[in-house]
Amino acid sequence: MKRRTLLALAGVVGTSGCLGYDVVEEDRRTERKVRIAELEATLERRDEQIRRFEEALTDREETIGDLQSRLSTLRERLDGLRLNQASLVADWAEVGDVARRATDSVTGDTATVAVNCTAPRSMMHSTRRLAVSVEMRNLNDEIALADTVESTVEIDPDQRLVETTVDVDVTYLPSSWYVGFVGVRDVETGATTRRESVEFGVEAESA
């Protein structure tokens, strides 16, 4: 009896040991799974942070590109060919007449348009050809005339202001008020100014 009892007890103890090992191993597997899940969650958060950082970096690069483009445009305006004033003039003799001899109407078949520009440093002390474009619109905002006339100018090395005139044929324009949009282009470099608007009336010459 005693022997049988001892064998039975040994069997119970052995079974308990196996069960205890299985429980410990299961706990380890569960803990390992939890750690793996936590690691995967950490990696996902890191990937999301990297994605957001890349998006922010792209936006910043686009902003920098836009700022560089604006800076380039500003430099061109500051040091490029710049149109200061355009006007219809009764006659013209020297720099400043674009303002002194400005008029608001023309009678006859020719309109004299004067332009005053600031030349860039690269154009100083040179002879240049400037193309002056004139687009005239009537009161209905319809294009009544579009013409481009070239003019040769001498640019003084000590004076960046350039002033010249072009004659525009208005023979076939009916008597009315018009808005002229005037721009200037350097024929050699292709540099173009922004356009200035000029309002004036055209009267047909009486017979």
Residues 103, 189, single domain; the answer is yes
**Of the ranges 21-30, 71-80, 115-124, 146-155, which one carries the lowest mean pLDDT score?**
71-80
Q: Which two tokens stand for residue 3?
A: 């022997």
pLDDT of residue 1: 53
Number of domains in the chain: 2
Residues 97, 68, single domain; the answer is no
Residues 59, 101, single domain; the answer is no
**Of the ranges 2-6, 86-90, 159-163, which one carries the lowest mean pLDDT score?**
2-6
Residues 101, 7, single domain; the answer is no
Helices (H), 80-203: 97-100
Residues 18, 37, single domain; the answer is yes
Please give the angle made by the CA atoms of 151, 157 and 159, to the nearest 5 degrees. Answer: 75
Residues 196, 157, single domain; the answer is yes
Per-residue pLDDT tens for 25-71? 777 888 888 888 888 888 888 888 888 888 888 888 888 888 877 77
Is the pLDDT reported for residue 159 higher than 80? Answer: no
Q: Which of 70, 193, 183, 71 is nearest to 120 (CA)?
A: 193
The residue whose two tokens read 């173009």 is: 192
Q: Are 114 and 97 in contact (CB under 8 A)?
A: yes
pLDDT of residue 154: 78
What is the rounded distance in angstroms from the CA atom of residue 127 to the CA atom of residue 152?
7
Q: Are 130 and 184 in contact (CB under 8 A)?
A: yes
Among 37, 61, 79, residue at a domain's last position = 79
Mean pLDDT of the chain: 81
Residues 93, 107, single domain; the answer is yes
Residues 95, 179, single domain; the answer is yes
The residue whose two tokens read 């380039």 is: 72
pLDDT of residue 7: 47
Residues 52, 125, single domain; the answer is no
What is the rounded distance in angstroms from the CA atom of residue 134 to the CA atom of residue 179?
10
Structural domain harbouring 61 = 1-79
